[in-house]
């Protein structure tokens, strides 16, 4: 009888441990290396969108025709900067540089959205992710993408570069003195 009780207790503990593991949230990946400073207002960004990987469209059988739109986290889509469309692939290679992105006030990150180009209807949203602008410049970063239901739908690799003060210096403000 004692042996049966011990066995039942062992099974109960195993079931509790399995339940705890099922309910446990996945451990997040460590954050990218940070330099600590976000770009200042008016600094110009160049973003090199390199490639996508494992792009998924739940419920769709055909392969997507993906493109990427990039903007700042504090601005609403649609964003002005986008890549070309890569036809019929879940692992697109863009290797495109999106230039002249002036940093707006309070921007802390880059917003990355991926869409599937449709020829006869509105383009389908595939997923969205963000890259913190404190991340190391000129290094490749993987931006994990999630759809509206928080399902992981792939990743986009990119790097970015900041030109300090470029927009601010090119937009001279009159001093008010008119002699």
Average pLDDT rounded to a whole number, residues 78-100: 93
**Which SS3 state, helix, strand or coil, does residue 64 take?**
coil
pLDDT-derived band at 58, boundaries 50, 70, 90 = low
pLDDT-derived band at 173, boundaries 50, 70, 90 = very low
Q: 41-50, 91-100, 159-168: which range is least confident on average?
A: 159-168
From residue 109, alpha-carbon distances to 15, 71, 74, 114, 147 in Å are 42, 9, 8, 16, 18
Chain centre to alpha carbon of residue 114: 9
Is residue 21 within 8 A of residue 74, CB to CB? The reply is: no
Work out the mean pLDDT of the chain and round it to a whole number. 84
- d(Cα 73, Cα 109) in Å, to the nearest integer? 5
Is residue 47 within 8 A of residue 160, CB to CB? The reply is: yes
> Which residues neighbour 81 within 8 Å (Cβ) at sequence distance 6 or greater?
47, 69, 70, 71, 98, 101
Q: Taking the CB of residue 69, how many other CB atoms lie within 10 A of it?
A: 21
* Nearest residue to 67 via CA among 43, 88, 36, 45: 88
Confidence at residue 32, expressed as pLDDT on a 0 to 100 scale: 55
Tokens coding 76: 């609403």
Is residue 92 within 8 A of residue 123, CB to CB? The reply is: no
Is residue 154 within 8 A of residue 54, CB to CB? The reply is: yes
Average pLDDT rounded to a whole number, residues 156-172: 71
Confidence at residue 166, expressed as pLDDT on a 0 to 100 scale: 56
Answer whether residue 28 shows pLDDT above 70: no
- d(Cα 130, Cα 160) in Å, to the nearest integer? 13
Confidence at residue 71, expressed as pLDDT on a 0 to 100 scale: 95
N- to C-terminal Cα separation, the chain: 105
Confidence at residue 29, expressed as pLDDT on a 0 to 100 scale: 56
Percent of the residues in the chain that have a pLDDT greater than 70, as a whole number = 83
Q: What pLDDT, in 10s, does the model give residues 106-159?
A: 888 999 999 999 888 899 999 999 999 988 888 999 999 999 988 899 999 999
């Amino acid at each position: 009888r004692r042996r049966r009780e011990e066995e039942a207790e062992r099974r109960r503990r195993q079931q509790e441990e399995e339940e705890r593991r099922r309910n446990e949230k996945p451990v997040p990946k460590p954050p990218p290396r940070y330099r600590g400073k976000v770009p200042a207002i008016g600094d110009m960004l160049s973003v090199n969108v390199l490639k996508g990987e494992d792009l998924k469209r739940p419920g769709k059988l055909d392969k997507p025709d993906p493109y990427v739109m990039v903007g700042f986290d504090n601005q609403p889509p649609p964003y002005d900067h986008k890549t070309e469309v890569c036809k019929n692939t879940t692992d697109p290679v863009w290797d495109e540089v999106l230039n002249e992105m002036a940093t707006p006030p309070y921007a802390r990150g880059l917003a990355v959205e991926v869409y599937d180009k449709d020829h006869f209807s509105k383009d389908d949203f595939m997923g969205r992710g963000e890259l913190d602008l404190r991340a190391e410049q000129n290094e490749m970063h993987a931006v994990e993408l999630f759809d509206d239901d928080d399902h992981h739908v792939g990743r986009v690799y990119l790097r970015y570069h900041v030109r300090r003060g470029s927009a601010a210096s090119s937009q001279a403000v009159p001093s008010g003195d008119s002699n």
